[in-house]
Amino acid sequence: MTQKLVIAVCTAQRPNMLKTCLASLDRLIRPNGTNLTVVVVENDPEPFFTGEEAGKVKAALSLPVFFYHEQRKGIPFARNRALEAALEHAPDWVAMIDDDERAEPDWIEKLLAACGQFNAEVANGPVRRIYEKPAPHWWKSQLLKPRPTGTEITEAPTNNVLISARIIHKDGAGLRFDERLTFGSEDIDFFRRTHAAGAKMIWVDDAFVEEDIPASRVTTKRLLSRMHMAATSGAFNIVLREGRGKAALHFIPKSARRMTFGGLATVIGFCLKPFARERGEKLYYYGLIRLMKGSGNLRGLLGQAHNYYDVIDGN
């Protein structure tokens, strides 16, 4: 029996990265009995891939590719448009990958096989990050520890994931991304709700994609902004799910601790830098990160949006 699998890609103002991503998808090993289709959603007021530009991309690929447009600016709007676009092609499975990533040839094969082996409805795999410029020495990369394939998980990002169409179909769970989460954590929230709805979710340790990290994303300003954004969106997520009162009881003390110890670490690190530069810088930026997280938690409690994703890294 033939099954249909749709790969969804959201993109905004990064045509070259998108073309590289699509080229990698065209090199995928196509599992026996599986038809692959790609849907692309441009999240921009004026789409780039229309008419001749879209035709050039389609002509260069053997996989069928369909372009869609989401004018409302914001990641959850684009992701929901991608889910609706995927459903137009009557899929059994929907995969999601970012426009700045490249899939390994066996990516889909590994995810699909693992779902069959472990009777799972969601499979999430690892991302290899390829840095254009090394991150600062004080930055601790957020690397996932290897886990055996089949390990059950309770949340996932959308940068390397396969989901059963039942989860998004109106006759199934009918889940969508929360469109209030326009500044981050919309994917974590989606898959937490997916798990709460009873879907089995697993890790697939050898289903790799590679992500290109432009130099602009590892500047001090962008790294600190990312920490602030993550803390803001994390707190706002709890406000939406559990109410502002309960969220405040958790995050106000946590924020106070982060900002107190962050402030102390920043001052001590600054004073230490002239005598032990590397050690002082590590302590100094550790403190700044704590301050960003603490202030971000407070910002999220107040429901204030963050503009991290307004800046486009790459092209």
Is 53 in contact with 42 (CB distance < 8 Å)?
no
With 0-12 / 13-18 / 19 or more C-beta atoms within 10 angstroms meaning exposed / middle / buried, residue 87 is middle
Q: Tell me the backbone φ, ψ of residue 225, rounded to 5 degrees.
A: -65, -40
Which amino acid appears at position 136 of this protein? Answer: P
Per-residue pLDDT of the chain (315 residues), as tens digits, is: 789 999 999 999 899 999 999 999 999 999 999 999 999 999 988 888 888 888 999 999 999 999 999 999 999 999 999 999 999 999 999 999 999 999 999 999 999 999 999 999 999 999 999 999 998 999 987 666 789 999 999 999 999 999 999 999 999 999 999 999 988 889 999 999 999 999 999 999 999 999 989 999 999 999 999 999 999 999 999 999 999 999 999 999 999 999 999 999 999 999 999 999 999 999 999 999 999 999 999 999 998 877 777 778 878
Token pair belonging to 40: 């692309």
